[in-house]
A and B are shown apart, each in its own frame.
Chain A
């Protein structure tokens, strides 16, 4: 059981806009930054979004993040086949004094 809650799966067609949600609590998302990671099959997770909707160099601006209260969202616009991957939200939890992950959302591009 993950501390952060994500839907296990999501899907969309090429060109569509998809949103992946992450629900937490006041001790994690409510107080701290949320990061999003993309994990392609057989590879290590890659930082996709950090802080207040910041993207590391090389990440397309089709990816964006937002946060409201104790929930966060990752939006992918102009969906492409190469976006098919697992997506994880991550935050620091002040009560647990550690890093907490969401269970991951598997995105399928139909």
Chain B
């Protein structure tokens, strides 16, 4: 069973950098054909894709967040991470990590439980 678990600070100050890590178990992020991605959900709102990464380092980012987002992967730890710079209150959301199956689905088939990040001073 594939499991994903988000971790990181639950509170970030405005203008600082939000950093989250997703730890994967039950699968290797180096195995294909999967991308690994981040999605967020503002309180009471819909889902927003942030970006995705392949284990080789190939990344895709949401055009609306591209200037502030970096997604990276650490295959030795079977983890991938997201950094979002210059955060504001609008970045307050539940952040989910998920596996993107390229071939069968294609789409996000396994999700983490999500972690709430609040941007506030």
Contacts and interface: CB of A to CB of B under 8 A. Distances in A.
A33 B47 contact: no
Nearest to B35: A99
Nearest to B48: A101
Contacts, number: 61
Given A2-B46, A44-B114, A99 B37 contact: yes
Interface stretch (A64-72, A77-85, A88-96): A88-96
A35 B105 contact: yes
Contacts of A101: 46-49
Nearest to B66: A98
B46 A35 contact: no
B43 to A, nearest CB: 12
B16 interface: no
Interface of B: 37, 46-49, 51-52, 60-63, 96, 100, 104-109, 111-114
Given A44-B113, A51-B105, A98-B51, 7 more contacts: A44-B96, A45-B96, A47-B109, A98-B62, A99-B107, A103-B46, A104-B46
